[in-house]
A and B are shown apart, each in its own frame.
Chain A
Amino acid sequence: MAVEVTPEEKPKEENSLPLLRKEELLLNLGPQHPSTHGVLKVIVTLEGEKVVKSEPVLGFLHRGVEKLAESVTYNQFIPHTDRLDYVCAMYNNFAYVRAVEKLLDITVPWRTEYLRTIVAEVQRIIGHLFWLGTQALDIGAMTVFFFTFRDREDLLDLFTELCGARLTTSWYRVGGVERDFTQKFVDDLSKFLVTFDEKIDEYDTLLINNRIWLARTKNIAVISGEDAVAFGLSGPTLRGSGVDYDLRKVSPYGAYDHVEWTVPLGTKGDTYDRYWIRMEEMKESAKIIKQCLAQLPSGPFKADIPQVVAPPKEQVFTDMDSMIYQFKLYTQGFKAPKGDIYCGTEAHKGELGFYIVSQGEGKPYRLKIRAPSFVHMGAFDFMAKGYMIADIITIFGTYDIVMGECDR
């Protein structure tokens, strides 16, 4: 029998309909999914397709690097830093050797500062290219991935020329770098930079008018500047919210205060702004490298402190003192003075810092790695709340997360 329902009698809430059940769904995402950038598991509570709560489960890649650091000498730890953020090893090396140099209170020659800055910025471009490719791939734009990986490969070839490895580079040394640039490296890098700006525009043409890309990034994972600071976010994730905090400007190191460049800042704090910032940062990096190459001073590429920096191999075979220094350095390492320091470096993901406590021995007493990916994961639940299940993937991506660094 049909019952006539007047508008007043219509059920007000969906709940009162007998067949419409409303309950929260618990979904396990990961740990082994290509879009989790490593092995990350997230337990998501869903209401329909909407995220109510998300709880990242970290630690699948935990290798106890901080504990390991307490049993190796300062120099022996450099290769371990490669394995933190394994797509951007150079910057990890840089952050670590800078912290040790601060502890030892040593400075490096001018040429070294320039060499370090150039390679660090090449690494930043590699990191952003990698991010752009994978983020676009996660969203479904596969072509960008091929384009960025083509160019990333050119830069990785440069690293092979420089230190013989593509990813696990260990090129930085306490007090200098492992070896100087070759002419081929400088030529290839200059050649790359000539066309690089056009290539950035090329990536932009694939995305900037792409309706899917815009729909998936604009107004997604919005975080205000105030919240971003309270969560300790850093790098493009913080600057996307308009907070002017870039350690290269705040406490300049390397040659950053000798070249002209600007810090791009976002306004809305959404995924699109963070994308835009990374694109701009690539252009700024190219500018920094060009200026550094033009200004590149001559001189040694290692500090002349034989207690800390290994003397050149030719000297070791001919000079008694150098041989003793080399022997002591490679058997015992150098002793760092008592004290504790924190030194943060602006890696392409954010502030990568090392807190080192020294008890005056050849090994760190305690070494803490302030990894940007780990700190960013702390804000994940806050940023994912209220968005759709599909956005979860783009929110991992927007941090540029690498689990090797997050879990350490």
Chain B
Amino acid sequence: MKPFRIPEGMENGENHVLAQKICRCFPEAYLGATLFRGDLSVHIQREEIVSICRLLRDDADLDFDYPVHITSVDYMGEAERFEVVYEFFSIREKRQIRLKTRVPEDDCCIDSVTGIWQGANYLEREVYDMMGIRFTNHPDLQRILLPDDYDEGYPLRKNFPMQGRGWRDSFDFPH
């Protein structure tokens, strides 16, 4: 496991009270935190995602009750290719937190947080549909925007062809 490095242009967010709380409760899963334009992102190990989410929602000080979005980014060529991004908001405390966790391509799965926020159901299905990341323990993991029998991969992956595979370049009709 390579040590967490703050990307250039971003501030170190490890002194943020939320990052410290997660670091204290889950020292092994916590990797680091960044601040960019006032947004806090906490990088964590994927194994603890459900426990950390449960802490975020149930802890009286944190109270992150509102799931804003769940999405994924494909960093093709990096060792752990996919990044799953969770954004939560606390309506009472009026603050946001972003969790980022990496998922490797050869074991492309992460635990589902549907049990914590019901709204995560559709958001995770979309991530699965578009990026092909499987959510274990998801109640209904199937494609959502694309047809069920869609067999051409996951469109938001960076290696998805932008111009098709040539099937529709010419139409030859039998005479």
Interface set of A (CB-CB < 8 Å, partner B): 58-59, 62, 64, 66-67, 71, 102-103, 105, 227, 229-233, 243-245, 250-251, 337-342, 344, 351, 353, 355, 357, 365-366, 368, 370, 374-375, 377-379, 382, 407-408
**B6 CB to closest chain A CB, in angstroms?**
11
Contacts of A355 in B (CB 8 A): 69, 71, 85, 87
Q: Which stretch, B22-30, B91-99, B101-109, touches the partner chain A? A: B91-99
Instruction: Check: B121 CB closer than 8 A to any chain A CB.
Output: yes
Closest to A377 in B: B122
Bound-complex Cα distance A368 to B74 (A): 12
Docked complex: B25-81 residues within 8 A CB-CB of A? 36-37, 39, 41, 65-69, 71, 73-74
Docked complex: B1-15 residues within 8 A CB-CB of A? 7-10
Contacts of A245 in B (CB 8 A): 66, 91
Bound-complex Cα distance A227 to B121 (A): 14
Cβ contacts A to B, 8 pairs, < 8 Å: A59-B143, A59-B147, A230-B67, A230-B119, A338-B10, A355-B71, A375-B122, A375-B123
Mark interface residues in B133-165 (1 if CB within 8 Å of A CB, else 0): 000000000011111000000011000101000
Closest to A406 in B: B145
The reply to whether A230 and B73 contact each other, CB–CB distance below 8 Å, is no
Contacts of B39 in A (CB 8 A): 340-342
Contacts of A67 in B (CB 8 A): 155-156, 160, 162
Contacts of A244 in B (CB 8 A): 91
Bound-complex Cα distance A353 to B85 (A): 14
Instruction: Check: B130 CB closer than 8 A to any chain A CB.
Output: yes
Say which residue of B68, B73, B118 sits within 8 Å of A365 (CB atoms).
B73
Interface set of B (CB-CB < 8 Å, partner A): 7-10, 36-37, 39, 41, 65-69, 71, 73-74, 85, 87, 91, 94, 96, 98, 117-119, 121-123, 126, 130, 143-147, 155-156, 160, 162
Bound-complex Cα distance A264 to B74 (A): 41
Grouping DSSP codes into helix (H, G, I), strand (E, B) and loop, the A interface class, with mixed when no group exceeds half, is mixed
Closest to A366 in B: B73
Task: Other than A67-B156, A342-B69, A374-B122, give 13 A-B pairs with Cβ distance below 8 A.
Answer: A59-B144, A103-B37, A231-B117, A231-B119, A245-B66, A251-B94, A338-B7, A340-B73, A342-B96, A366-B156, A374-B126, A375-B119, A379-B119
Bound-complex Cα distance A374 to B67 (A): 13
The reply to whether B37 and A341 contact each other, CB–CB distance below 8 Å, is yes
Q: Total number of A-B contacts with CB less than 8 angstroms?
A: 104
The reply to whether A232 and B156 contact each other, CB–CB distance below 8 Å, is no
The reply to whether B10 and A357 contact each other, CB–CB distance below 8 Å, is no
Answer whether A339 and B10 are a contact pair too, CB < 8 Å, given A230-B117, A353-B69, A375-B119: yes
Contacts of A366 in B (CB 8 A): 71, 73-74, 156
The reply to whether B98 and A378 contact each other, CB–CB distance below 8 Å, is no
**B134 CB to closest chain A CB, in angstroms?**
19
Answer whether A229 and B91 are a contact pair too, CB < 8 Å, given A58-B145, A338-B7: yes
Answer whether A250 and B94 are a contact pair too, CB < 8 Å, given A227-B118, A339-B10, A341-B37: yes
Q: Which of A251, A357, A366 has the most CB of B within 10 A?
A: A366
Contacts of A227 in B (CB 8 A): 118
Bound-complex Cα distance A384 to B159 (A): 39
The reply to whether A351 and B73 contact each other, CB–CB distance below 8 Å, is no
